[in-house]
Structure formats: C-alpha cells, structure tokens
Structure 1
Amino acid sequence: MIRRAGRPGLLGTMARTAVVAGTAGAVNRGMNRAAENRAQTQADAEAYRQQQTAPPPAAAPAGGDDMIAKLNQLGQLHASGVLSDDEFAAAKAKLLA
C-alpha cells in the first residue's frame, strides 16, 4: 500500500481529533471549577461580612432615664407620706402607661 506524503491517515486524524477534544474538555472543566471556586469564595466572604457586622444597638426608650427619675421621685414621695398608697399606685400606673 502506497501512502501519500503530507496527508495523515484515518487513524492519525481520529487520534488528533480525540486529543483536541480531550484537551478542550479538560480546559472547560478546569475553567468551570475555577469559576465555581470563585463564586463560593465570594459567597463565603459575604456571609462572613454579614456575621461580623453587628446589628445597631437597640434604641433606648424615649425618656428612659427621665422615667426612672420620676419613679424614684414618686417612691420618695410615697415613703415620706406625701402620697397615699392609692395615689402612688395611680401616679405610677399613669407614668408607666
């Protein structure tokens, strides 16, 4: 059998095609894996940032210190006898409402 010079045979063409296809598949899988790793790293970083960000402190009730001072004042007035038990209870309920 005489072969022509310069042209690969059928087996040579098939082998070359297999190598090219295999290489392309390997490159494609590697690129997909790298993209998945980047996406996972970004998701992990975002989750970490959200965990590390402390929520803002709860706002104190308006006039909280003022209310405590008024309750203390009512207690002193009640203890000194200026307010009766009923007056103290009514004033305290009004203040806490």
Structure 2
Amino acid sequence: MGRPGLVGLAARTAVVAGTATAVSGGVARHQQRRAQDQYDQQQYEAAQQQAALDAAAQQAVAQQQAAYAQQQAAQQAYVQQTAPAAPAAPAGGVDVVAELQKLAALKEQGILSDDEFAAAKAKLLS
C-alpha cells in the first residue's frame, strides 16, 4: 500500500486537471463579467456627458437666437425713430420713392430679375 498504481495516478491527475480547468474557467468568466460591467458603466457615463453637452449647446443656440432677435428689434426701432419722414405724395400722383422701394424689395426676393427691375424703374422714372 505505498504508492498508487498507474491508473490511480492517472485518475488523480485527471481530477486535478479538471478542477484547475473549472476554477480557471470561473475566474475567466468573472473577469470577463467585470470587464463588461466596467465597459457598460463607461458607456453610460459617456452618454450622460453627451446629453449634458447637447443640452448646453441647445441652450446656447437659444440664447444666441434670443439675443439676435432682440438686437434686430432694437435696430429696427432705432431706424424707425431716426428715419426722416417720407415726403407726401402729390395729390393724385405716384410716390416714386415708395414704388422704387417696392421694386427693390421684389428684386431682393427674387420675384423680379435684373432686367425686369431695370425696365420697371425706367418706366417709373420717366
């Protein structure tokens, strides 16, 4: 009864190898699960940071739009206050300045071409 035989030694080696494989597989799964949890946490934090950046960008755009609208309103009010009064149109006549302004506005909007604008202007001034 001293030493085990060849079959006993092989059986013991198989048990040790099987236990080592099971333990290393469990450790590997645990490490993989931890790595996945850490990755998921990083992705969540990145999504939160991106959402905060998006919200801040939207707020900045809204503030810029409000400031621009305010500036435009102030500029329009200033122009209206400082603009000289338009001369009154002659009785029964056409206000040439107002008509030219209407033609210019139509040209800027793309309704009139350059040639059409020039023709209408020449007709109005003649």
SS in 2 for 1:84: coil
CA RMSD of aligned residues (A): 3.1
Percent identical among aligned pairs is: 14
Distance 1:66 1:29 in 2: 64
Structure 1: state its 5+ residue gaps: none
TM-superposed deviation, 1:60: 2.9
TM-score (norm 2): 0.51
TM-superposed deviation, 1:69: 5.1
Relative contact order (C-alpha < 8 Å, sep 6+): which is higher?
1
Distance 2:72 2:29 in 1: 66
Distance 1:52 1:70 in 2: 36
Q: Does 1:46 align with 2:76?
A: no
Equivalent residue runs for 1:1-97 within 5 Å: 1=8, 9-53=16-60, 54=62, 55-56=64-65, 57-58=68-69, 59-60=71-72, 64=76, 65-66=78-79, 70=83, 73-74=85-86, 77-78=87-88, 83-85=89-91, 86=93, 89-94=95-100, 97=104
TM-score (norm 1): 0.63
Count of residue correspondences:
85
Runs of 4+ in 1 over 6 A off after TM superposition: none
